[in-house]
Amino acid sequence: MSWNSSCNDGVLLRVGISDNKAGMEGLDKEKINKIIMEATKGSRFYENELKKDQQVNQRIEKMMRLKEKITTQQLLKAQLQVDKLVIELEQSRNLSNTIVHIDMDAFYAAVEMRDNPELKEKPIAVGSMSMLSTSNYHARRFGVRAAMPGFIAKKLCPHLTIVPLNFEKYGKVSKEVREILTEYDPNFMPMGLDEAYLNITEHLEERLNWPEDKRRFFFNTESTREKDKDDINMSAKFNEDGYSSSPVLFEDNTPLMDNRPEQRDQSVENSIVFGTSAEEVVKEIRFRIEQQTQLTASAGIAPNTMLAKMCSDRNKPNGQCRIAPERQAVIDFLKDLPIRKVPGIGKVTEKMLKALGIVTCSELYQQRALLSLLFSEASWRNFLDISLGLGSTHLEKDGERKSMSTERTFSEINSAEDQYSLCRELCRDLAQELQKEGLKGKTVTLKLKNVNFEVKTRASTVLSSVSTEEEIFAVAKDLLGTEIDSVAPHPLRIRLMGVRVSGFLSEEEKRYQQKSIKSFLKSGKETGFLRLQPGKSNREYFTKNSEASPRGSFFDKKRAARQLNSENLCPNESVGKQLFHDQKSSANFVEETKKVTDLQNSNLCKTFTCPVCFEKQSSNDLEELNRHIDECLNGTVVKDAMDISKNDNSRENTLNFLPHFKNENVDERQINKTDQLAGTDQFASASDNSASNSTEKFTQLIPDKPHRERQPSNLSDIAINVCMKQCLFPKRFSQDKGDHFEKTEHTEKNSSSCSFDTKEDSILVCPVCNLQQKTTSLVSFNRHVDVCLNKGLIQELTEKKDFPAMTSNTENSNRVGGLSRGQQCANPSQGTKRSGLTTSQSVSKKAKSCNSKHTIEMFFK
DNA sequence: CGGATCGAC
DNA sequence: CTATGTCGATCCG
C-alpha cells in the first residue's frame, strides 16, 4: 500500500500521516518513501504492483475516454435525474438513531505492550518479518504500519521490536470488551476483534430515568486480574496519564465542560458518575473498557454507521467525536473530508475519483451527475449516499456465511507432488472447519499465486454438496491438475495456494434437502449404489475398476489419464497413511466413485423416461438425451412463461423477470432517455490488449468449456433450474464441470418423493413455498412453482424497483463500475432501507413536497 | 457460473 | 531471505 501511494503521486494516504509532532525521532514522508522504495524496487512483488497499477491506469484512461464523449446535454439531463433522487434520499434521511463505533487503539500492539512493560515506549509492531498486522504509535512515526512486511519496517525503524501474533490473547481481551458493549446494545455488531458498532438509541432512552448509582463506575485501583504485575503498571499508568489525581478522564478534544460527570464523591472516593448524554455514555464505555483491559479505545457517535465509523477515526487514539443528529452537522463533517476516509473507498477508487478531480466528499457531491454517467449504478448511488452522509441506521446481524476458505503462503513450491499434497492438506483443514459448522458447499475454488505474485482462481461447481476432505480434494485436485497441465512442461511455481468452498445450501434448501434428498442420497450411496454389483465390497469394487474402464468415453479416458498422472505425482506414502487410518480416506475414493457412476451411466441408460414429456427415450448417447430434455423443457417452459405473462395484467412483460432485469419501462413523467451515451459502442469495442504482457504462465486460461446448460432465460426457467438442482429429476443427466457427464443416482421407486417414475399422484415439495403439492404431472407442478416464484419476485420487484429514470438501463458495460461492499459493511442496511422507502407511495409523497429543492441547492454552500 | 478485483479487518 | 489470511460484494464475459 505504502509504496504505491508513494511512487505515484503526492497524495500520501497513510504514510506520513503520522506527525513528527513532539519533535521526537521519526521520519518524514520523503525519507519513509525513499526507504520503502529502496527496499522494494526490483522485487517480484514490486513488478507485480507496477503491473496492477498500470491496469488501474488503463481503467482510468477508459473512464476518461468515456467522459470525453459525454455531452453537455447528457450531463444536464443526468443532473436532473440525480437531483430528483437526491430529494428522495434527503427525505429519507433518518437522524433518529444514535450509532456508536468503538475502535480499540492499535489493538494487538496495545495488548502486547500491556503484557510486557519492556515494550512500552519502544516502537513495536505485531506480526512477522513477512507481514505486520499493526504497530504502535511510536513505530508509526517511522512509517511502520499494518500490512507492511516486517523486513521493510525494520529498515524504516531498525530498533523496531516485532512481536509475534497471539490471537488467543487478543480474543480474550476482545471478549472482555464485548461483555461491556453488550450492556449498551445487546445486538451490537462486532467487526473483527477490535471494532464494533452499537446502536445505543434505546439505551439512551432508558438511561434518562436511571439514578446516579446506575451510572457510577469505579476506578480499578486494586487489581482484580493478574495481581502480580498489574498493580505497579496501573498506578504508573495513572500517574503518567494524569488519571490518578483528578478523574478528568479523557484529555481528548471533546468539550467536557457541560455534561461533565459530576464527581461529587458521595460515599465512594474512587468512583465517577457519567451523565445521560450520548457523549457521556460513550465516555463511560471507554472508561469501563480501560478499567477492565487497560487498553484505550476511540469512538464515534453519529446518526448512522458510516458517519460513526469516520467519526471514530477523527480523534484517535483515545478520543471520541460526535456528529450531532442534524443535517447541517453531517454536511459540515463531510465538507472537507477526503473520500479515502470513507469506508468502502479504497486505494483504487480513490485514484479513479482523483482522476476526475474528486478528493473530498463535497467534490463527490458536486460531480454526482458525471459520476452517474461514468460508474455503475451501485457505485454512483453509493457515492451519492456518501456525499449526503447517508448510511445504515440499524445494525443487521450478519446473515449466513457464504463461503469458507483456507490459504497458505510458503516459499516457492514447484513440484507437482508437493503441490498435490499441499492441496490435500488444505482440503483437510478446510473440511474440518466446514464440519464444525455443519456446512456443505457445491462450489470448490482453488486459488494460486505464482512466484510473480500473480493470482489466479479456478472454480468448479459440482452437483451434490461437498464437505469432506476427500470430496473437496477430488474437485480441487482436478483444478490443480488443469493448472499444472496448462504450463507443462514447465513447473508451476507457486508461493500460495488456497481452497474455498462456497455455494452452501440455504436454510430453505437444507430443510428441503433433509426431507427428500438426504434420504434419497443415503439409500443411493449405501444400498442403491452397491446394488450394482452386490457381491463386492467397496474396496474390491474400487480396486477392480480403477484399472480397466471398459468402453470408457473419451472423457472417461481423459479423466483417467489425468488421474493416473496425479496418482503418480501424489506421494504414495501420504495416501497410504490415510488409508491406514481410515479406509474411506483413500485419495482415490471420490475419483473411483466417479468412475463407477460413469460406468453406471453408460450401462443403465439405454432406455429412459423423459421426466418432462414422460415419453420413453432410448439412446446410448447422453448428450442426445440431454438435448431431448432441454428441448422438452424449453417447450414447456416457454409456454408456461407466456401464460404467466398474459395473466399478468401489469405492463411488465416477461423480460422484467430476468434475474438482471433490464428496466425498460419509461415512466411518462420522466425525461425521455433516448440519447444514451453516444460513444458507447466505441467504448465497448475499445477493449484492448490488456494483460497481454504478462508471463506465459498465468495468462493462459483454461480453454472454454462448452456451455451446455441453458442460461436461465426467464422465471419459469429458473424454477425449472431450481427443481433440477434440487433433484426433482433424479434421472436427468447434467453436465459436470469437466468434459464428461455424470448422472445423479437413481432413487428407488417409492423410496423418495422425488420419483417421477409413476405419473400418478406424486407428492412434491415446492422448493419455494415449501408446501407439499399433489400433482399429476411435472408441468402442473412447474406451474405451481412458477406461480410461487412469481409471487416472491413480484414482491421483491415492487420493493426494489426504484427510480425508473435512474436505473437507466441496459448498458452497464459502459460504466467504469466496480465498487465493492464497504458501504454494505459499514451501511449494511442502507440499500434495503432505501428501497423500502421508495415504493410508489413514498414517491408520490415526494412529488408533493418539491419545495425541498432549494435545500438541495443550498447544499455545501 | 467463473474469474478478476476491490475493500475491510 | 522476507510482501498475510478470510470474507463479502460487484462487475464482466
Q: How far apart are the first and last CA of chain A?
A: 35
Cβ of residue A56 near strand B, that is under 7 Å?
yes
Nearest nucleotide to A815 by CA–C1' distance? Answer: C11
Please calculate the CA angle A845-A371-A659 and round it to the nearest 5 degrees.
70
H helices of A356-442, in order, are 361-366, 368-374, 377-388, 416-436
**Over the stretch A677-690, which tens digit does the pLDDT of each residue have?**
232 222 223 333 33
Give residue A369's pLDDT. 98
Is any atom of nucleic acid chain B found less than 7 Å from the CB of residue A55? yes
Provide the pLDDT for residue A743.
26
**Banded model confidence at residue A317, pLDDT cuts 50, 70, 90:** very high
pLDDT at A437 over 50: yes
How distant is C1' of B7 from CA of A739, in Å? 36
Q: Give the residue with greater pLDDT, A210 vs A842.
A: A210
Strands (DSSP E) found in A642-709: none
| CB-based contact A810:A777 (threshold 8 Å) | no
Q: Considering only CA atoms, which of A29, A218, A252 is closest in space to residue A142? A: A29
What's the whole-number average pLDDT of chain A? 68
Has residue A389 got a pLDDT over 50?
A: yes
Q: Who wins on pLDDT, A704 or A519?
A: A519
CA/C1' separation A712–B1 (Å): 11
Contact (CB, 8 A) for A42 and A169: no
Full-model pTM: 0.63
For residues A784 and A790, the answer to whether their CB atoms sit within 8 Å is: no
What DSSP element (H or E) covers A682?
helix A680-685
Does the nearest atom of strand B lie within 7 Å of A140's Cβ? no
- Residues 667-696 on chain A lying near strand C, CB distance under 7 A: 684, 687
Considering A454-458, A536-540, A627-631, A750-754, the range whose residues carry the highest mean pLDDT is A454-458
Distance CA A307, CA A291 (A): 27
Q: Which nucleotides of C are covered by protein (CB under 7 A)?
A: 1-13
Domain A403-508, CATH number (from 3.30.1490.100, 3.40.50.1000, 3.30.750.24, 3.20.20.10) = 3.30.1490.100
Please name every residue paired with A1 in a beta bridge, in sequence order, or none if there are none: none
pLDDT score recorded for residue A398: 84
The C-alpha atoms of residue A562 and residue A591 are separated, in whole angstroms, by 11
Q: Looking at the C1' of nucleotide C8, which residue has the nearest alpha carbon?
A: A821
CA of A108 to C1' of C9 (A): 28
CB A419 within 8 A of CB A497: yes
Please say whether the beta carbons of A104 and A195 come within 8 A: yes
Residues 141-160 of A with CB under 7 A from strand B: 147
* Rounded Cα gap, residues A319 and A569, in angstroms: 58
Does the CB of A498 fall within 7 Å of any strand C atom? yes
CA pair distance A380, A384, nearest whole angstrom: 6
Phi/psi at A298 (nearest 5 deg)?
A: -110, 160
CA distance A136 to A120: 10
Residues 6 or more apart whose Cβ sits within 8 Å of residue A202: A185
Which residue from A347, A293, A510, A396 is spatially nearest to A13, judged by alpha carbons?
A: A347
What is the band of A609 on the pLDDT scale with cuts at 50, 70, 90? Answer: low
User: Does A27 score more than 50 pLDDT?
Assistant: yes
CATH of domain A97-219+270-324: 3.30.70.270
CA–CA gap between residue A590 and residue A601 (Å, rounded): 16
Q: Is the CB of A844 under 7 A from strand C?
A: no
User: Can you give the distance from the CA of residue A350 to the C1' of nucleotide C9 in angstroms?
Assistant: 18
The reported pLDDT for the residue numbered A506 is 76
Question: Which segment, A401-405, A579-583, A585-589, is predicted with the most confidence on average?
Answer: A401-405
Can you give the distance from the CA of residue A350 to the C1' of nucleotide C5 in angstroms? Answer: 24
CB proximity A46–strand C (7 Å threshold): yes
Mean pLDDT for the stretch of residues A600-607 = 39
Give the residue with minimal CA–C1' separation from C11: A818
Is there a shared CATH topology between the A1-68 domain and the A403-508 domain?
no
- Chain A 338-397 contacts with nucleic strand C (CB below 7 A): 376-379
Task: Confirm if A303 and A322 have CB atoms less than 8 A apart.
Answer: no
Q: Check: CB of residue A165 under 8 Å from CB of residue A153.
A: no
Residue A733 has pLDDT above 80, yes or no: no
CA A334, CA A351: separation in Å to the nearest integer?
19
For domain A70-95+326-397, is the CATH number 1.10.150.810? yes
Residue–nucleotide distance: A822 CA to B8 C1' (Å): 7
Measuring alpha carbon to C1', the residue closest to nucleotide B8 is A822
Q: Can you tell me which residue has its alpha carbon closest to the C1' of nucleotide B9?
A: A192
Q: Sorting pLDDT into bands at 50, 70 and 90, what band is A773?
A: low
Is there contact between A819 and strand C, defined as CB under 7 Å from any strand atom? yes
Length reported for chain A: 861
A309 touches strand B (CB under 7 A): yes
| Domain ranges within chain A, ordered by starting residue | 1-68, 70-95+326-397, 97-219+270-324, 403-508
Chain CA centroid to CA A161, Å = 34
| Bridge partner residues of A617 (DSSP) | A608
pLDDT of residue A505: 87
Residue A758 Cβ < 7 Å to strand C? no
Sequence-distant (6+) residues with CB within 8 A of A735 are A626, A708, A709, A741, A742
A128 by Cβ neighbours in 10 Å (0-12 / 13-18 / 19+) ranks as: middle
Q: To which residue does cell 514490486 refer?
A: A46
Whole-angstrom Cα distance, residue A780 to residue A789?
14
Task: Check whether residue A784 has its CB closer than 7 Å to nucleic acid strand B.
Answer: no
| Contacting residues 405-444/A vs strand C (CB within 7 A) | 405-409, 411
Share of chain A above pLDDT 90, in %: 49
Give the span between the Cα atoms of A472 and A676, in whole angstroms: 47
* Angstrom distance (rounded) from CA A719 to CA A755: 18
Q: Which amino acid is at A92?
A: S
Distance C6 C1' – A262 CA (angstroms): 46
In strand B, the nucleotides that come within 7 Å of a protein beta carbon are 1-9
Strand C close to A812 by CB, under 7 A: yes
Name A residues 147-166 whose Cβ lies under 7 Å from strand C: 147-149, 151-152
Residue A25 pLDDT class (50, 70, 90 cuts): confident
Give per-residue burial for A645-677: e unless 16+ CB within 10 Å, then b. beeeeeebebebbeeebebeeeeeebeeeeeeb
Residue at minimal CA–C1' distance from C2? Answer: A130
Instruction: Report the pLDDT value the prediction gives residue A394, as an integer from 0 to 100.
Output: 95
Interstrand relation of A741-743 and A733-735 (parallel, antiparallel or unpaired): antiparallel
Which of the pair, A543 or A764, is modelled with greater confidence? A764
CA of A344 to C1' of B8 (A): 8
Q: Using the CB atom, is residue A456 less than 7 Å from strand B?
A: yes
* Closest nt to residue A398, judged CA to C1': C8
CA atoms within 13 A on the CB side of A504: 18
CATH topology of domain A1-68: DNA polymerase; domain 1 (1.10.150)
Closest nt by CA–C1' to A445? B2
